[in-house]
Structure 1
Amino acid sequence: MGRRRVVLKLGSRLLTGGAKRLDPERLASVARAIAAAPGQEAVIVSSGAVAAGFDALGLDAPPTRIEERQAAAAVGQGRLMKMWADAFQEVDRTVAQVLLTNDCLTDRKRYNAARGAMRALLRAGIVPIVNENDTVSVEEIVVGDNDNLAAMTAALVDADLLALLTDVPGVLTADPEQDPTAQLVERAGSAEELRSLCFAKKAIESTGGMVTKLEAAERAGRFGIPTVIADGTDASALAAVVSGRAAGTFIEADDEPLPARRHWMAVQKGLSGYLVVDDGAVRAIRGRASLLPSGIVGVGGRFRRGDLVSVVDGAGTEHARGIVRFDDREVDRIRGLHTAAVRATLGVEHGHVVMRPDRMVLSREGASK
């Protein structure tokens, strides 16, 4: 069954064809595929700003220094959008530039504003072209994490499918350059399943940057959005994913996805603070119970009532994040105390629950604060 709203992520390697500069025909092929799928809504998460702008700095190749990459992106953003606009003009479609920063996805008001703007564009039949604002971003420009940006964009617009397009057929069981018997994995129940099928991290990294793609697929799956990893240079595969059909490697969404109201909590970075809890508290919150002061052994950062904070164990592994009902100084005063002692310390009106399960989202095992 086709999926009506698709987020397509295209990396620089795909858009350049392995060369130094963007290939206009690669962009045109995507525009033609979208135009040939009436009734579909498409959002494009596009890399390529650095590749489009580095020559203006007098460089012969894309730079590696952060400040030069940011400068190249500043020049290249306009050029990249001009190339996308030209490609879609040929098929009588309009595009819109959407530059996101981490603040857009971590600040609740900005998140809702971006969500509303994207929905308005899609209703009007306009194709949003999304990119990280590389000129003011540091971390993302280093790790090239547009895969995870695409997953967060898919959640932002309530997409039916996330398509991570690369220049390989999908997830393979091994590096084909090292193992000629490597096979395409056509379907998987989860990204974790694919990590084990690929056997080694080295094999995953050598096959089209699959590490971040699997991270993105895992994140999208938590939102109830399946992921396709496919070859964007293959016309039939491109046509399939644009139409919302499976191609390459299809990764199923979680059976119990996060409710929409918890999407925002799950995608946040750079939280204000964290609570360190004991093993009993870890078991309680993973059993969907409230977090009580008696299970808290430490407090980090500065936060106020109503802020989103992380809940970690003694080793720094995050187990949950949620809206805290006390500020950092109050939690520090009542940590380790039982209910009666909490009320005696802060007063009855404050209550004794630090974080309720209905305002909490569980984290994947192994995440670090």
Structure 2
Amino acid sequence: MHDIAIRRTRSKAGKLPRDQRDATPRLKPKRVVLKLGSRTLTAGGAELCAETLARVAASVTRATDVEVVIVSSGAVAAGFRVLGFDAPPEAVRDRQAAAAVGQTRLMSMWEAVFRDRGRDVAQVLLTNDCLADRRRYVTVRDAFTALLDRGVIPIVNENDTVSVDEIMVGDNDNLAAITAALVDADLLVLLTDVAGVFARDPRKDPDVLPIPFARSATELKELCFKKASRESIGGMVTKLEAAERAGRYGIPTVIASGTDADTISAVLRGDQIGTYIAPAAEPLRARQHWMAVQRRLEGSLVVDDGAVSAIRGRASLLPRGIVEVLGRFRKGDLVSVVDRAGVERARGIVRFDDRDVERIRGLHSSDLEQVLGREVGAVVMRSDRMFIMDEEQG
């Protein structure tokens, strides 16, 4: 859905292979997910910067041939002073309260800057709970499609007020990657306070230039963090993790400066800017993507080494390889498959509830009908309804 032109470029990017250092992609995206963090929206301060939001709206509305979904942080920044805090609070309940107050103000600001330019916006608040059930996941996806078809710009944020560990998506970089897959975006754009991904810390080495192109986020992580601590790179860790996730869904990522006034327009025009990270050659299918994004699973099946090998070979999970059943689940639930050490090896849709799996674990498939007293299939989890964690890890 996009064109890539390759041209030569000079770079002090680091020791990536020459074909990656010199390959500068030029994109013509049709649908983009644009993630704006609090640092970008506050222009480095504590409160939202109205001028920054107006600049974003101007850039988005000028690109009349591109559909844009905005993943926007900033609810806490918009609300903390209303509650009497001098700075964004650290306590979870205070941040949730500030987000509850600030989310309405954040949306009012987005609505105002886009209304001035003749565009409507819609608020979409997500938690992992919205994505856990396959039907709700499809419903959310269809809602995005309906909004985009009508020219409305979705403004997405995590529902911080009700989010707890069990239903949190996590950081908004991760949320942006999931959103990009939900809307079948051509491109994910993650804006930050630096010009892209660097092999060395640009604050310590002002002559270093951003890496223009990488075949995968995994390679960038290995290059950038080999000699540097996670803290020294700031928020780049989560951005590369989000790019890695988006890449598995077949979506390229651009990481670029949110402080440069022309960045968004340049990306939407198809100009090369920041760091472009190519997607996986074989992206996940829609059902695999749904499985991959889940944080809450209904239970676990502990399997032996033989079952692990079979799963890695894309075989279905048979009862004989199951050594233990953990948790309560029903037929059709999404369940984790772990090895004896507790490492998740796969996840998938089970064809039996936990009580039946407990009765048939360790048995040959030919014994199932006799034990359960009814005719059943021979597998507990089919390979075509399974997501192998090696795929998640790249």
TM-score normalized by structure 2?
Answer: 0.88
Q: Which consecutive unaligned segments of at least 5 residues does structure 1 have?
A: none
Q: Conserved in 2, the CA contact under 8 Å of 1:166 and 1:208?
A: no
Cα distance in 2 for partners of 1:97, 1:195 equals 33
Give the letter aligned to residue 23 of structure 1.
Answer: C
More helix by share: 1
Structure 1 residue 267 corresponds to structure 2 residue 318: no
> Paired residue for 1:327?
353
Could you tell me how far 1:90 is from its partner in structure 2?
A: 2.4
Counterpart amino acid of residue 106 in structure 2? L
1:189 to 2:215 alignment: yes
Say which is worse superposed, 172-181 or 304-313, in terms of deviation.
172-181
Q: 1:231 aligns with which of 254, 257, 282?
A: 257
Segment of structure 1 superposing worse, 6-15 or 272-281: 272-281
**Whole-Å separation in 2 of the counterparts to 1:302 and 1:336:** 19
Q: Tell me which of 188, 196, 204 is aligned to 1:162.
A: 188
Sequence identity percentage: 65
Matches within 5 A, 1:143-222: 145-180=171-206, 182-200=208-226, 202-222=228-248
Q: Which amino acid aligns with 2:256?
A: A
Q: Which residue of 1 aligns with 2:38?
A: 12
Structure 2 CA distance for aligned equivalents of residues 244 and 274 of structure 1: 45
**CA distance 1:28–1:224, shift in 2 (3 Å):** same
Paired residues for 1:277-288 under 5 Å:
277-288=303-314
Q: CA deviation at 1:220?
A: 1.0
CA–CA distance in structure 2, aligned partners of residues 330 and 246 of structure 1: 56
CA contact (8 A) 2:248 2:392 kept: no
Q: Determine the structure 1 residue equivalent to 2:110.
A: 84
Q: CA deviation at 1:203?
A: 4.1
Contact 1:21 1:51 in 2 (8 A): yes
Q: CA RMSD in A?
A: 2.0
Equivalent residue letter for 2:171: D
**Per-residue Cα deviation, 1:21-78 (whole angstroms, up to 9, x for no partner):** 0111111111111111111000000000000000111111000001110110111001
In the TM superposition, what is the alpha-carbon distance from 1:241 to its structure 2 partner?
A: 2.2
SS state of the match for residue 151, structure 2?
coil
One-letter code of the match for 1:326?
A: F
- Mapped partners of 1:336, 1:179: distance in 2: 59
**C-alpha spacing 1:204/1:54, structure 2 compared with 1 (3 Å):** same
Q: Look up the match of 1:124.
A: 150
- Extract unaligned runs of 5+ from structure 2: 4-27
8 Å Cα contact 1:4-1:244 kept in structure 2: no
What's the TM-score once normalised by structure 1's chain length?
A: 0.94
Distance 1:190 1:140, change over 3 A: farther
Which residue identity is paired with 1:192? T
Q: C-alpha displacement at 1:153, in angstroms? A: 0.7
Q: Which residue of 2 aligns with 1:352?
A: 378
- Distance, in Å, in 1 between the alignment partners of 2:280 and 2:212 is 17
Q: Write the deviation string for residues 327-349 of structure 1: whole angstroms up to 9, x where unpaired.
A: 11111222222223333322461
Q: Is the 8 A contact 2:41 2:49 kept in 1?
A: yes
Residue matched to 2:267:
241
Q: Name which of structure 1's ranges 267-276 and 106-115 shifts more when overlaid on structure 2.
A: 106-115
Which has the higher mean CA deviation after the structures are superposed, 357-366 or 184-193? 357-366
Structure 2 counterpart of 1:34: 60
Hey, what does 2:127 align to over in structure 1? Answer: 101
| Residue identity opposite 1:206 in structure 2 | S
Contact 1:168 1:208 in 2 (8 A): no
Aligned residue for 2:220, secondary structure, equals helix
Question: CA contact under 8 A between 1:6 and 1:244: conserved in structure 2?
Answer: no
1:246-296 superposed Cα distances (whole Å, 9 cap, x missing partner): 421111111111112322112111100111112221111111111111111
Alpha carbons 2:180, 2:246 under 8 Å: kept:
yes
Amino acid at match of 1:290: S
Distance 1:308 1:71, change over 3 A: same
1:308 & 1:245 partners in 2: Cα distance?
42
Distance 1:275-1:244 versus aligned 2 partners, 3 A rule: farther
Matched, 1:338 2:364: yes
Which moves more between the two structures, 190-199 or 333-342? 333-342
Give, in whole Å, the separation in 2 of the partners of 1:104 and 1:310: 19
Q: 1:97 to 1:297 in 2, by over 3 A?
A: same
Distance in 2, Cα, partners of 1:3 & 1:149: 20
Query: Partners in 1 of 2:59 and 2:227 — Cα distance?
Result: 33
Q: Please state whether the residue corresponding to 1:285 is helix, strand or coil.
A: helix
Q: Distance in 1 between matches of 2:45 and 2:168?
A: 20
Give, in whole Å, the separation in 1 of the partners of 2:214 and 2:268: 20
Checking the alignment, whether the CA contact within 8 Å between 1:7 and 1:150 is kept in structure 2 is: yes
Residues 142 and 62 of structure 1: is their aligned pair in 2 closer, same or farther, counting only changes over 3 Å? farther
The answer for the alignment partner of 2:95 in structure 1 is 69
Q: Which of 290, 300, 310 is the matching residue for 2:326? A: 300
Distance (whole Å) between structure 1 residues aligned to residue 167 and residue 327 of structure 2: 26
Aligned length: 367
